[in-house]
Structure 1
Amino acid sequence: MQAFCPNLAIVFENGRAQVMRNESDTIGITMDLYLPILETVYEKKVNFVQFYNPFGEHLRTLKVPGYSISCCVWGRGSLRVALAVDSFVGDESLGKYGLILYNTLGTPVDGKYINIEPIGVAMNSYQVFAASKNNFVVWHYKTPKVHYRNSFKIFTAGTARCKMFHIDDNPSGAVEIIQELDNTSKLPVSMHDTIDPVCCLTATDKCLIIEWESGLIQY
């Protein structure tokens, strides 16, 4: 590790932390982690690459093993980035986001890739709802059970469906969402930025509630 790279971390229970080059470092870097600390483990062989959009909004963080990143090249028109780490050159794929469904034993039973970055996820007995700031996805998942019953109809385990909606054009209720799921036609869904982004959502077996940043709630 380079001599100028911090390798000593001091963390307090209130969430304050300081990283230093040695025990006599007078220009250590201080941080506020905004959470109570129970345990700290220092990993020296790791780097992070931060991705931002043109408006300065943080998109994601990529964790890269190694001592030091000397170069980073973005693949134009693709979801891949090439990194020069130490004496190696590697590439990382920034692919789609995924939803993984686990049973009570912690075993994955179903999964689904989605085209939006979820900021909130909710589920009920037969569906998973994931929302970004502009869109939301309704995924009727599959499990080993044979049937699911709700107030609208009976679903079988072999009829997994997924549908995406724009938040400005969302259906007026759960019945319309189920009707949309039954529609197998592939219609384009808008991905434009909305004026009032989504901030959270929750769901039961009979309803879906989405809240906008302005405080508006759709039931």
Structure 2
Amino acid sequence: MRNESDDAPVIIDTSMRNIAAEWNQDGSVLSVCGILIDFNTSKESNQVNFYSPFGHLIRTLKVPGNEISSLSWEGKSLRIAMAVDSFIYFANIRLQFRATINAIN
């Protein structure tokens, strides 16, 4: 939502059982952690999905372990910490930037 009276909020279907969600420092990336359930094999897996502010999936990170319980961004949004079982996993986050080349005539 852009504000508390937004008539057209962005709705994201993560297709998983959501545990926690956090915005990065400048609000450009939303990370949602949860448990993905494969109904064909009844297998559960932990994952973190990264979304743009408009709801587009940027990247998916699969995390080992039985159950993810939380996540948190580091102060400058360069790392993310995830609590899984009795462990804390850290991941470095690097954004990809597209280089623009201007042709000189």
TM-score range relative to shorter protein? 0.5 to 0.7
Show the counterpart of 1:59: 58
Bigger radius of gyration among the two: 1
Letter in 2 for 1:165: T
Q: 1:66 to 1:59 in 2, by over 3 A?
A: same
1:62-99 superposed Cα distances (whole Å, 9 cap, x missing partner)? 11101111010011313200000011112111235xxx
Letter in 2 for 1:54: P
Equivalent residues, number: 71
Q: Normalized against structure 1, the TM-score is what?
A: 0.27
Q: Of 156, 167, 171, which residue of structure 1 is paired with 2:103? A: 171
Once residues 70 and 83 of structure 1 are traced to their aligned partners in structure 2, the CA distance between those partners, rounded to angstroms, is 8
The percent of aligned pairs where both chains have the same amino acid is 38
Q: Normalized against structure 2, the TM-score is what?
A: 0.52
- Structure 1: give runs of 5+ residues left out of the alignment: 11-18, 21-41, 97-114, 117-134, 136-163, 177-219
Matched, 1:71 2:3: no
- Structure 2: give runs of 5+ residues left out of the alignment: 1-34
Show the counterpart of 2:46: 47
Q: Which structure ranks higher in relative contact order (CA pairs < 8 Å, sequence separation ≥ 6)?
A: 2
Deviation at 1:57, TM superposition (A): 1.5
Deviation at 1:165, TM superposition (A): 1.5
More helix by share: 1
Once residues 64 and 100 of structure 2 are traced to their aligned partners in structure 1, the CA distance between those partners, rounded to angstroms, is 37
